[in-house]
Structure 1
Amino acid sequence: MRNESEVPLSDSAFSIPVADRLKRLPPYLFGKINKLKYQKRQAGIDVIDLGMGNPTDPPDPLITDKMKESLADPRNHRYSVANGIGNLRKEVAARYHRIYGARLNPDDEVIACLGSKEGFSHMCLALMGPGDTAIVPAPTFPIHAYSVMLAGGNVIQLDVREPHKFLENVAYTCEHLFPKPKLVIVNFPHNPSGTCIEQSFFDELVALAKKYKFLVISDFAYADICYDGYKAPSFLSTPGAIDVGVELTTMSKGFSMAGWRIGFCCGNREMVRALATIKGYYDYGIFQSIQIAAIVAMRHCESAVESIAKEYEHRRDALVDGLTRLGWEIERPKAGMFVWAKIPEPWAQMGSIDFSMKLLDEAGVAVSPGRGFGEEGEGYLRLALVENSQRLRQAVRAIGKCLKPETAATV
């Protein structure tokens, strides 16, 4: 038996040497806000949380009822196939053809993922390595850059808020960088800025991909949430797109199945095969009852998707109209579940992180600072449309009181 004198007084003598890939990740910029939000809630203070795009609406009852029914079948509790059961992949292909006119072979051009984020991350791991470079949109949804970094690749961020200039910059980068970028990542409707495109964007992107020999990943996570008659185009509906890339979709938003973790990667069969290889080593597939419920959702719940989009549109109007009355300059988004708001003067000089802390501390409203999405996001806030319209109007009133004119002089 060891006596107390033999027990190390400090654990500083033993260090944990983490992998270099972790050291490439920057400090987490949302940490201070999340800590204060937690403290307030622990103290019983009501916080209106517009920080994370975490849907609060339940799925259609048909979906949950099918999930409950499938739980009674013991066969559904075994390991499932890593690429998704056959009927699910067929349903994804059928929905793509029905909505976007794109034809996919469910056997080798569709794979189920644990949400689009997992599929995206593992696709980067399958494609990228040291010396490879990816172009990502800026402001940048963090996983678009960090997945490339974790795979050992390099990142070039190009401003995406003027899509035609983004394409010009992609072409310029390909002309002047050696070796040329291996991958271009696009995300429309864009998170966080809400930027949208028309079909002509993808036509030109595919032409550039074939000219400069780069691959494309289209993150189409907000495909189902469109407003005012706008319909977001699919990359895969573009002639030749399947030759150069894939598209990631998810059931988290339109079907309100965020916690279920189910999404899809569709497109180029060699890229899908590469992702399947990675997934074959990393996981045993999605719980089969979730897959069965997802089939029912895509077959019978399209009207529920339309209702969800209409609800988000009402929320968008409540938030944008309210902040506009307060004097904020906001471009009304045509799609997505976020409002990208320019910080009004004189508050912009605080910086987006400090201003977000102010709103949380004094107004009880949590938002995401633009700086968390890279340098191009500074001066902006991202506000998620996850609360109902009444709560959003409450948030606007609280922000108005927090920023009343007599307090502006203290900035």
Structure 2
Amino acid sequence: MTAQTFNLPDLGEGLTESEVLNWKIKVGEHVSLNQIIAEVETAKAVVELPSPFAGIVQKLHADEGQVVPVGAALVTFDNDKAPEDAGGDTPAPTGERTPTLVGYGAPAASGKRPARRGRSAAPAAAEQSATPEPVVHHEVARSTPPVRKFARDHGIEISSVVGTGPHGLVLRRDVEALLRQPAAAAAPAQSSVPAASGGQDRRIKISAMRRATAKAMVQSAFTAPHATEFLTVDVTKSLELIDKLRQRREFRDTKVNFTSLSALLVSRLLLKFPALNSRWDEVNDEIIQFGAVNLGMAVASDRGLLVPVVKEAQNKALEPLAAELNQLVALGRSGDLTPAQLSGGTFSITNVGVFGVDAGTPILPPGQTGILALGQVKPRPWEYQGELALRSTCTLALSFDHRVVDGKEASEFLAGIGAVLEDPGMMNFFI
């Protein structure tokens, strides 16, 4: 009898642990190569783990709801062939696997990179892959794919179901119970938060993503000395420019707005102020100035704050930049971002104005030196051409790491953004 143990792989940049949501297998069951064996939740995504081995399950090393560190044992398999495979099944892969950003990596001796397997790949194609990769999902409510399908088939929004499984896992019986309620068919997509009754306290389990976000924010707030500067500007001309752009053929299929225009200005202006596109390297006693502007865009999702990244934003014109931002925001809200799309940011923008907020003090994402908050665009009495007029205004808030950036650099950067937003004709002067 030959036993092989599958250890939790590295599922993404900087991720050190995952929570086992549910097992798809049980002890004594025969598992084939690439068969989904478990759903786990990282700080960034819900991931379906395919098996890198074929064999019979000897032991499950973690319970549902348990947090497992990367490299710890998950499942032990007996690699002897099951009776139904005696006719010549695909042999289980051997050789030590090297953790990679996403996926398990090729066996060490092969030197080959694994081929990516799409989420919708047919089972037959999956069986041919010797080096499976995890399939990433972001779900509003944690549940298994069969339960989600069952809910969809009956017109139930899965986020409206209160889960009774381990740590809030939505089970089939939970959906069935909701279907038996008289109001379920008439209003299946109502609030996912059960109504409070009698002033009772509620205890909500902290998700892996929320826990990681909190840890990162605390680390950033108490490690980097934050400073924030504010500037309120007249953006009437920028809004007029956006209206004109929307009439052009190039932008008929792309939503261009104040956020995408600001992203263009920021990504270009950072080339003139590289200190704001840098990182303080405590270990090596260095300041690393990034060669590219990987622009993060904060997105509020049902799973918490996400910051997808536009890679090399400094090389993108307004139309492709706006299109990519729109796509990333949509993926963030629907829960379909991959770990790669959430990694590698060098500077970030957060738009608090969409919530009707004038300004705020944004906290730096770990490893970044600057973040710009855009307040709401609203009419204010404003001095214009020597007279008082009603103009569209916006308050900008720039937080920066004062170890890397001096007040002069930060002020000039913020003033440059404000000057171009006030008069887009100044773009060539500042950028």
Normalised to the residue count of structure 2, the TM-score between the two structures is: 0.25
Q: By percentage of residues, which structure has more helix?
A: 1
Larger radius of gyration: 2
Normalised to the residue count of structure 1, the TM-score between the two structures is: 0.25
Q: Larger relative CO (CA 8 A, sep 6+): 1 or 2? A: 1
Q: By percentage of residues, which structure has more strand?
A: 2
